[in-house]
Chain A
């Protein structure tokens, strides 16, 4: 029980201290996961919409794969990216192993299937609802995709949050490809793993509380923006 009490005290102390080392860890976590989510959206939104709205051979298999890859184990993705980026691997010449870029690549791979699979589901449902109408308006394929994605933007905000939650919370991939290097690739989750390994359980839990507070803040912000926009849309 003591550990829990101390952990909340440590979390509070970390938040009010504005310790530079700690802030840089939080900043790096946010930078890596947000970049990965943005990249995953740029790939996942169009990919999901195309799979939902077009007919091509093997479409069922692609859907199955996207849905399965939502559960990609981070440690496996980490290992594959590691083998690709290691100096002995095919992309070794880039020298990206143990850099933030490697961590962004791994998290993008983890998040893209989540964005793509959920986007596919949402646009596919909307197509059932509005497909007839859009066809009667003679909308172009691009116009159809853009209309459906724009119409689904509130649901897609939740999709983005699901992807962000996955990225910010995972430790397996960033530990392997980032190496948990102090002041270079140490993020919240790898710092928690390190403090646990040192037996500093209350510091580790304190960092965990801060991590969850960040996730709460991100979700609250999106929810606020969404409900305001919806209210405005209802008035318009």
Chain B
């Protein structure tokens, strides 16, 4: 009986387990980069990192979350570098000793999107804060990410500029769904509601339905991305050398040219902003 049990259950089970584990080949640890949904959803990240690997031989693995979550993971030392877009949170991150320095990489535009008919008349607003104020005045449905991502932080800063705080007054037209950019845009598309997004996510978003870009002008909607290598003095296990090479490459001629030439459906979602680019201008 014991023999039969061995033959029919244990031996196949254990050999399957061993076979499955043997498939995992150990190699040099790849660089771990924490970044945001906007970069990932634009489709820029994958070809960019393939080009980086071709130049340097360094494999980069990316984990994608909102900026708030990525900085939290960076504080724990779970990444070698972070590529994020929330300047004031980045400065706090640096002053508390978690990162080495902040290197600007690129910028995109924040966008106010909504139903093509634009019942709140956002299109004709004088600036982005006025545009949001019009949505609030008419109590038109607005979907916010509400997830402490970089986009969410920029959206709240813009509401504050308009002197309106819909997340604390709990107005019925303001919906915080607490999830990523894609889920938020899917929701806005289904409900024909207004929302706040940025060009990286928007250019590649396929389920737009009746949504259109209604406002993208002016200084309040600039969206700067920066890369911060994690401080090896605080987390000795990080690959500081690989992280430094990624910073040099991204902000140098190769990376900056790649970002400038990257297009989705004929539009470039990002503009280069690294040191090479600034010197050239």
Contacts and interface: CB of A to CB of B under 8 A. Distances in A.
A87 B78 CA distance: 6
Chain B interface size, as a band, is 35 or more
Contacts of B4: 150
Contacts of A199: 182, 185-186, 189, 205-208
Contacts of B16: 34, 38
Contacts of B206: 198-201
B205 A98 contact: no
B21 A198 contact: no
B213 to A, nearest CB: 15
B77 to A, nearest CB: 4
A88 B183 contact: no
Contacts of A98: 32, 61, 63, 78
Given A34-B16, A87-B77, A153-B9, A95 B237 contact: yes
Interface string A135-152: 000000001001101100
Contacts of A158: none
Contacts of A198: 41, 182, 204-206
B1 A197 contact: no
A41 interface: yes
A100 B24 contact: yes
Interface in B58-100: 61-64, 73, 75-78
A98 B73 CA distance: 12
B242 interface: no
Contact of B1 (A41, A86, A146): A146
A196 B186 contact: yes
B20 interface: yes
B205 to A, nearest CB: 4
A180 B64 contact: yes
Contacts of A211: none
A117 B183 CA distance: 36
Given A98-B61, A149-B5, A153-B9, A88 B207 contact: no
B104 interface: no
B23 A184 contact: no
B62 A182 contact: yes
B235 interface: yes
B237 A150 contact: no
B167 interface: no
A19 B103 CA distance: 37
B61 A181 contact: yes
A131 interface: no
B2 interface: yes
Contacts of A150: 1, 4-5, 8
A87 B16 CA distance: 31
A182 B46 contact: yes
Given A35-B20, A87-B237, A200-B206, A181 B62 contact: yes
Interface of B: 1-2, 4-5, 8-9, 13-14, 16-17, 20-21, 23-24, 29-30, 32, 37, 41, 46, 61-64, 73, 75-78, 180-183, 185-186, 189, 204-208, 235, 237
22 contacts: A38-B14, A42-B13, A86-B76, A87-B77, A88-B78, A92-B76, A95-B237, A143-B2, A146-B2, A153-B9, A181-B63, A182-B62, A184-B61, A197-B181, A197-B182, A198-B41, A198-B182, A198-B204, A199-B185, A200-B206, A201-B186, A201-B206
Given A39-B17, A196-B182, 8 more contacts: A35-B20, A98-B32, A146-B5, A153-B9, A198-B182, A199-B206, A200-B206, A201-B206
